[in-house]
Structure 1
Amino acid sequence: MSLLSQRGTDESFTPDHKPLMGEAPELRGFFLGCGFNSAGMMLGGGCGQELAHWIVHGRPEKDMYSYDIRRFHHSLTDHTRWIRERSHESYAKNYSVVFPHDEPLAGRNMRRDPLHEELLGQGCVFQERQGWERPGWFNPQETAQVLDYDYYGAYGNQAHKDYTYSRLLGDEYTFDFPPHHHMIQKECLACRGAAAVFNMSYFGKFYLLGVDARKAADWLFSADVNRPPGDCYYLAVGGAVAQHNWSHINTVLQDQEFRCQLMDSSEDLGMLSIQGPASRDILQDVLDADLSNEAFPFSTHQLVRAAGHLVRAIRLSFVGELGWELHVPRASCLPVYRAVMAAGARHGLVNAGYRAIDSLSIEKGYRHWHADLRPDDSPLEAGLAFTCKLKTSVPFLGREALEKQRATGLRRRLICLTVEEEVPMFGLEAIWRNGQVVGHVRRADFGFTVNKTIAYGYIRDPSGGPVSLDFVKNGEYALERMGVTYAAQVHLKSPFDPDNKRVKGIY
């Protein structure tokens, strides 16, 4: 099935208004360079150069992730309705202003987890990622069901009237704080003060298994993941990048001739994350396991029963709180969720969505793929050296490049900045240091706990020298938003809980 929607004989539009480039996931050695959405003259030169490098060296020089054909899940590229609807909407919005919190109206409800109807009834306003409907935020006053695409009233279709979801999206078409800012604030503060449950079922869930699984894991992952027995690994990856991860891992397995395979269980498992200072008390009433620090340390997992259902409990957090993820068989998701909500009622447990995760995670300095981390960034530049097993002699993909970079010094570094004034920022704002532009913001959000705008971006030394920690510290910073500069403070640690106590249960 083609991902291109043709208009006339000379133009084509893709489902997300971006070109299709790179190696086809279905056929090794077959590369694409098409779907330029009526911008081929503008994009052709640079994309052609990157594609040539891609073919010769196996990867482009620059960050081409947004154009990589592997960004689409196969269930979408095989679906005629999704391609037709999304390609139409990308054409209809060709010259539209791109607002920070916009969502498509076309090609929706392709992939829904077992909690979809339950959360819809509780006021969930959904976001679309890779066909999945994931919770964005909660608006308990209204039910915001996503309706079938109406083609904006074109081609004889009747445009939806009194469409709640479309109206809520339209209210968010702003570069100021959105009108639902206070609702997201409530979710964030409830997580920090009591507990929140996040439905993260859209995550990709893979099993890496086979006789060479340990060798493959050693090579694929920069961190030391060697644990007994080592013949099977469970991988949970963000749903928006699951297909790209799947394609990349399988490519490496094939190229390195590892005798193992990757099994996709994304549709078979749900994922609930219960986070906050009350999470232990809540889950202790649901799980048949000792959740103390001694019995269930941070970054460990156990197979336990939740309200009688077998689940995998993992003590992790992406919001910087004491908490657990429950990886639940699909048929058990609803009863486990209801048991958690019942146990949490007296502790102030609330539903929360990904808009809250964005705010909470940036407060804690947790990195987001393709915002803080891109294919042309290194773990050293991103402040993630602790995730690399460089103190061992174990080879892994990218080790030589990291060792070379460590020896020569970092020419750029990811930094955290906060702005005292309550001003919205979304990314791409210029970073000024001592009167010179030294970089731009990759990701920004408002931190409700610290009550400040928080921004992350990579900076360089205008002289071309290494960017040391002294260089970072000894500067006066400002962020420029729409022509106005705002004084900013630099942080070497995250502005919230810099000593990392809360994930350890220390409050």
Structure 2
Amino acid sequence: DKSFTADHKPLMGEAPEVRGFFLGCGFNSAGMMLGGGCGKELAHWIIHGRPEKDMYGYDIRRFHHSLTNNNRWIRERSHESYAKNYSVVFPFDEPLAGRKMRKDPFHQLLQEQGCVFQERHGWERPGWFHKEGPAPVLDYDYYGAYGIPTHSDYKYNQLLGKEYTFDFPPHHDTIRDECMTCRKAVAVFNMSYFGKFYLTGPDAKKAADWLFTADVNKAPGDAYYMAVGGGVAQHNWSHIRTVLQDKGFICTLTDHSEDMGMISIQGPKSRDLLQEVLDTDLSNEAFPFSTHKIVTAAGHKVRAMRLSFVGELGWELHIPKDSCLPVYRAVIDAGAKHGVRNAGYRAIDSLSIEKGYRHWHADLRPDDTPLEAGLAFTCKMKTSIPFLGRKALESQKAEGLRRRIVCFTIDEKVPMFGLEAIFHNGVPVGHLRRAEFGFAINKTIGYGYIRNPDGGVVSPDFIRSGEFTLERMGVVYKAKAHLKSPFDPENKRVKGIYSTD
């Protein structure tokens, strides 16, 4: 008798509902193969509170509690996991089972505009926009099992099938158009699947100092608003709750993820567009990068944050549920003369890698440190404030980095997806974690952690010296290593500085 889980991976780690109760089950017919390593990591996890290796993909906390409490989702997804047990895993595949579990207020409107959705932790989030009308996700048909008739002429499934390739997907040009509209004019991204938490109470500042590597003293207060990637929202929620309990902090974490939508308006024309919609001065002086304000948008109160995950001038609007559609329509109406268009997460993946913005569980894993990931600037090392992990960073800084993340570009137009081997002067030194095609620089871009073959420090000189190559499916390509992001390395665009050429 074999157990199959909802994503074809084991269930391991501490249960989010019961402290001290650990799982090590759901091995999907691969228990003999996985048992030794998983047993070793689970033992370390129980004793030390965390595994040695990256076990996030197996961590029970990867699932949102609304899914693990939903019998229909478990039944459908576990069936599809079994049905696809021996299927080739293609880069852009999506499940057909257990869909439409979590929908944001923009879902129906975007579907009508041709949105092809991705499923991430129960949420339906925009993947890309199909030019030939709606392609809705239908109820699961169990692939015709149990006497259930299969869907005929299922447009969404047909679009997925066309992407079953290790070449560039057939919609490569559509994703390029979304990316270039963002780089040249303005694009609107629906990012409502983000987790939205409030940390409040007498010890909220103490908790924030300990939990967050960044210095939060710039905005003193006893309340903190957190917008966290939807994929890692449950994991973050469980981690924060555990730390609050272990440290005895008197504060409350509340989840408002379902109560708010979030759209991001990004590109050189974003300020011109939003100045018509928001009742506040959006100049650099009045609204600097990395600040936020409560403002009015088309008569509705919203939180505006000047941030970017694509490397452009832009703002995120965090909007109460009932105000989402009127605010979105006002943004689209104001943007018509600027050539605004919707864009999805496939575009975000490309735009973000051009800027070197890190993705969770690709560029960043539990076994990476902020120093290795090039994120030392997010750590308050120059203050004396203690924080979770500070001692480990101090000792690593003193010893020097034995591994670090590096950006690579190749000139040939070949797709890469991550896990491609990295060679330095013909010696393997690591593998890519993530790769995408960068449309603005017209090159394939990959990020991976590398080690020095002699075990020494991975210095900038080591990265600048010698020849790097990347191997994809047995073919080796010359690669260029970059110490800064290959697109807008001076970060002028997020400051609203655009050259006139």
Tell me, yes or no, whether TM beats 0.5: yes
From 398, 401, 406, the equivalent of 2:389 is: 398
Of residues 227-236 and 357-366 in structure 1, the stretch that sits farther from structure 2 once superposed is 227-236
Counterpart for residue 113 of structure 1: 104
Structure 1 consecutive aligned stretches of length 4 or more whose deviation exceeds 3 Å = none
Aligned residue type for 1:449:
A
Counterpart for residue 278 of structure 1: 269
SS, match of residue 263 in structure 2? strand
User: How far apart in 1 are the matches of 2:9 and 2:106?
Assistant: 31
User: How far apart in 1 are the matches of 2:412 and 2:194?
Assistant: 35
From 350, 354, 376, the equivalent of 2:367 is: 376
SS, match of residue 154 in structure 1? helix
Counterpart for residue 98 of structure 1: 89
Counterpart for residue 378 of structure 2: 387
Confirm or deny that 1:363 pairs with 2:354: yes
Counterpart for residue 77 of structure 2: 86
Counterpart for residue 417 of structure 1: 408
Confirm or deny that 1:34 pairs with 2:25: yes
Question: How does 1:75-224 map onto structure 2 within 5 Å?
Answer: 75-224=66-215
Deviations 1:362-396 (A, max 9, x none): 00000000000000000100110000000110000
Q: Measure how far apart 1:163 and its partner are.
A: 0.2
Counterpart for residue 319 of structure 1: 310
Q: Measure how far apart 1:165 and its partner are.
A: 0.1
Q: TM-score, normalised by structure 2?
A: 0.99
User: How far apart in 1 are the matches of 2:21 and 2:190?
Assistant: 37
Counterpart for residue 336 of structure 1: 327
Let me know the Cα RMSD of the aligned residues. 0.5
SS, match of residue 450 in structure 1? coil
SS, match of residue 147 in structure 2? coil
Confirm or deny that 1:235 pairs with 2:257: no
Q: Measure how far apart 1:261 and its partner are.
A: 1.1
- Give aligned pairs, total: 498
Q: TM-score, normalised by structure 1?
A: 0.98
Q: Measure how far apart 1:142 and its partner are.
A: 2.4
Counterpart for residue 407 of structure 1: 398
From 426, 441, 448, the equivalent of 1:435 is: 426
Distance 1:292 1:24, change over 3 A: same
SS, match of residue 225 in structure 1? coil
From 464, 476, 490, the equivalent of 2:481 is: 490
User: How far apart in 2 are the matches of 1:478 and 1:46?
Assistant: 31
User: How far apart in 1 are the matches of 2:230 and 2:282?
Assistant: 28
Q: Measure how far apart 1:475 and its partner are.
A: 2.0
Confirm or deny that 1:54 pairs with 2:59: no
Deviations 1:342-362 (A, max 9, x none): 000000111000000000000
Deviations 1:423-453 (A, max 9, x none): 0000000001111110000000000000000
SS, match of residue 292 in structure 1? coil
User: How far apart in 2 are the matches of 1:328 and 1:473?
Assistant: 46
SS, match of residue 478 in structure 1? strand
SS, match of residue 274 in structure 2? helix
Distance 1:229 1:409, change over 3 A: closer
Q: Measure how far apart 1:279 and its partner are.
A: 0.1
User: How far apart in 1 are the matches of 2:488 and 2:253?
Assistant: 37
Aligned residue type for 2:29:
S
User: How far apart in 2 are the matches of 1:194 and 1:286?
Assistant: 17
Q: Measure how far apart 1:154 and its partner are.
A: 0.8
Give percent identity, aligned residues only: 78
User: How far apart in 2 are the matches of 1:197 and 1:142?
Assistant: 19
Q: Measure how far apart 1:181 and its partner are.
A: 0.4
Confirm or deny that 1:450 pairs with 2:437: no
Deviations 1:242-297 (A, max 9, x none): 00000000000000000001000000010000000000000000000000000000
User: How far apart in 2 are the matches of 1:185 and 1:219?
Assistant: 41
Aligned residue type for 2:234:
Q
Of residues 41-50 and 227-236 in structure 1, the stretch that sits farther from structure 2 once superposed is 227-236
SS, match of residue 481 in structure 2? strand
User: How far apart in 2 are the matches of 1:102 and 1:300?
Assistant: 37
Counterpart for residue 3 of structure 1: none
User: How far apart in 2 are the matches of 1:496 and 1:177?
Assistant: 21
Which ranges of structure 1 fall in alignment gaps of 5 or more residues? 1-9
Aligned residue type for 1:53:
H
User: How far apart in 1 are the matches of 2:254 and 2:373?
Assistant: 30
Aligned residue type for 1:335:
P
Q: Measure how far apart 1:230 and its partner are.
A: 1.9
User: How far apart in 2 are the matches of 1:502 and 1:100?
Assistant: 31
Of residues 225-234 and 496-505 in structure 1, the stretch that sits farther from structure 2 once superposed is 225-234
Aligned residue type for 1:232:
A
Aligned residue type for 2:107:
H
Counterpart for residue 304 of structure 1: 295
Counterpart for residue 463 of structure 1: 454
Aligned residue type for 2:20:
G
Q: Measure how far apart 1:226 and its partner are.
A: 1.8
Aligned residue type for 2:252:
Q
Q: Measure how far apart 1:48 and its partner are.
A: 0.3
Q: Measure how far apart 1:103 and its partner are.
A: 0.2
